[in-house]
């Protein structure tokens, strides 16, 4: 086997990691497995598509950057997608989970989130049909990096963009009060209230951050793979596997978990073909739950 899977796996893993950050944060703060998270990815990707195409129609000459397949239009689209992710996450919380949290147990929340994710996907499919879409139909030339590894400029840029977002998230979580409040609340909600942190505000911030990152990873998936209404749903198993592998509540863990899942999937695809890609994440998930249920960086049982 050659090392190509490393490049593909890292690019995919970065996107899984971005999505898993939000999942691990909402999981540790709201304490339930949220199946809606995948839909933020898909809705984000389509928001990016609609905005970018709209801008290209308005200004056909905008063109693309150097070797990349896209230009300003998609960058603005990315920003719009993240806003859409924030809005969607806040709406979902306000109109569904906030009510249910007050009167129901975890299981009802999980089933409600499962149903809501199907509903959001159906709604998306209704608007955009189930046909795949692309930000750009240009075929990109892959550049050889040596050792038999070839990457497209888009893949490199996606990796860089993901790394940039990770730095931003790290700064938010460690250097700002909002970030510290989120960490504090996820560790010990009662003590956080006692220390003057408004739990409701933390919950909203967590949804917003998770929604924005998931939407961003959706746009990146759209750049490097393709855009389909089921893309978020298909990401659910990798996201859960990454979050649990990294340890629920751990942001570095989610990123590491994402990279590991991405590499394992790419390796699996190289060895066995693409048909069973989703099974790789599942096998890792089962293995982690059996061997180390708190994950690599998990805090407590």
Partner 1 sequence: MILDIFAYGTFFLATALTYAIVCLGLNLQWGQTGLFNVGVAGFVAIGAYTSALLTTPATPGRFGGYGLPIAVGWILAIVVAAAASWCVGKITLRLRADYLAITTFGVAVVIQLVALNAEPLTGGPFGIGFIPRPFASLAEQVALYDVLHLLLVAAVLAAVYLVLERLAGSPWGRVLGAIREDEEAAVSLGKDANGFRLQAFVLGGAIMGLAGAIQAHFIGFIAPENYLPALTFQVWAMLIIGGSGNNRGAILGAILVWGLWSFSGAAIGSLVPADFQARAATLRIVVVGLALVSILLWRPRGLLPE
Partner 2 sequence: MTAPILEATRIVAGYEPGLPIVRGASIAAKAGEITAILGPNGAGKSTLIKAIAGLVLVSSGKITLADADITETPAHQHIRQGLAFVPQTENVFAGMSVEENLKIAVHILPKAARADRLEKTFALFPDLARQRQLLAGRLSGGQRQMLAAARALVVEPRVLMLDEPSAGLSPKFVASVFAKLVEIRQIGVAIVLVEQNVRAALAIADRAYVLVEGENRHEGTARDLANDPNVAALYFGAHTERAA
DSSP 241-300: HHHHHH-TT-HHHHHHHHHHHHHHHHHHHHHH-GGGHHHHHHHHHHHHHHH-TT-SS---
Among partner 1, partner 2, none, the one that 114 touches (CB under a kind-dependent 5 to 8 A) is partner 1
Answer for the pair 8, 266: CB distance below 8 angstroms, yes or no: yes
Characterise 196 by phi-psi region: left (phi > 0), alpha (psi -120 to 50), beta (else).
Answer: left
Question: Is 51 in a helix, a strand, or coil?
Answer: helix
Build a one-symbol-per-residue string for 170-209: x at contacts with partner 2 by CB under 8 A, - elsewhere. Answer: -------x--xx-xx--xx-xxxxxxxxxx----------
Among 75, 87, 118, 296, binds partner 1 (CB under 8 A): 118
244 forms part of the interface with partner 1 (CB under 8 A)? yes
Helix and strand totals (H; E) in the chain: 12, 2
Among 122, 174, 176, 226, binds partner 1 (CB under 8 A): 122
**Number of residues assigned to the chain:** 301
Side-chain half-sphere CA neighbours of 35 within 13 A = 19
Among partner 1, partner 2, none, the one that 282 touches (CB under a kind-dependent 5 to 8 A) is partner 1
Q: Interface with partner 1 by CB under 8 A: which range of 2-10, 38-46, 52-60, 103-111? A: 103-111
Q: Interface with partner 1 by CB under 8 A: which range of 12-20, 51-59, 110-118, 162-170? A: 110-118
Q: Interface with partner 1 by CB under 8 A: which range of 151-159, 202-210, 250-258, 280-288? A: 280-288
Q: Which is nearer to partner 2, 138 or 198 (CB)?
A: 198
Q: Taking CB under 8 A as the criterion, which residues in 222-241 touch partner 1?
A: 233, 236-237, 240
Angle between helices 251-272 and 153-175 (to 10 degrees): 160
Among 125, 140, 153, 156, binds partner 1 (CB under 8 A): 125
């Amino acid at each position: 086997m050659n090392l190509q899977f490393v490049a593909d796996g890292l690019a995919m893993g970065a996107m899984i990691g971005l999505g898993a950050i939000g999942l691990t944060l909402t999981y540790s703060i709201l304490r339930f497995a949220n199946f809606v998270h995948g839909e933020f990815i898909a809705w984000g990707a389509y928001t990016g598509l609609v905005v970018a195409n709209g801008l290209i129609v308005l200004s056909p000459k905008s063109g693309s950057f150097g070797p990349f397949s896209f230009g300003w239009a998609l960058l603005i689209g990315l920003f719009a997608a993240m806003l859409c992710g924030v809005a969607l996450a806040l709406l979902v919380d306000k109109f569904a989970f906030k009510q249910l949290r007050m009167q129901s147990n975890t299981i009802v929340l999980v089933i409600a989130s499962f149903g809501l994710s199907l509903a959001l996907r159906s709604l998306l499919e209704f608007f955009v049909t189930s046909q795949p879409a692309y930000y750009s139909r240009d075929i990109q030339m892959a550049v050889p990096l040596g050792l038999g590894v070839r990457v497209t400029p888009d893949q490199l840029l996606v990796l860089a963009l993901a790394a940039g977002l990770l730095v931003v998230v790290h700064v938010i979580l460690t250097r700002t009060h909002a970030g510290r409040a989120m960490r504090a609340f996820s560790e010990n909600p009662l003590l956080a209230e006692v220390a003057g942190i408004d739990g409701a505000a933390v919950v909203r911030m967590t949804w917003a951050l998770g929604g924005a990152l998931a939407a961003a990873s959706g746009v990146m998936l759209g750049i490097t793979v393709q855009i389909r209404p089921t893309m978020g749903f298909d990401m659910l198993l990798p996201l859960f596997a990454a979050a649990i592998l990294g340890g629920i509540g751990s942001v570095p863990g989610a990123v590491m978990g994402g990279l590991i899942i991405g590499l394992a999937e790419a390796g699996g695809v190289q060895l066995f073909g693409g048909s069973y890609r989703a099974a790789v994440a599942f096998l890792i998930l089962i293995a982690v739950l059996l061997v180390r249920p708190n994950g690599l960086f998990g805090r407590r049982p």
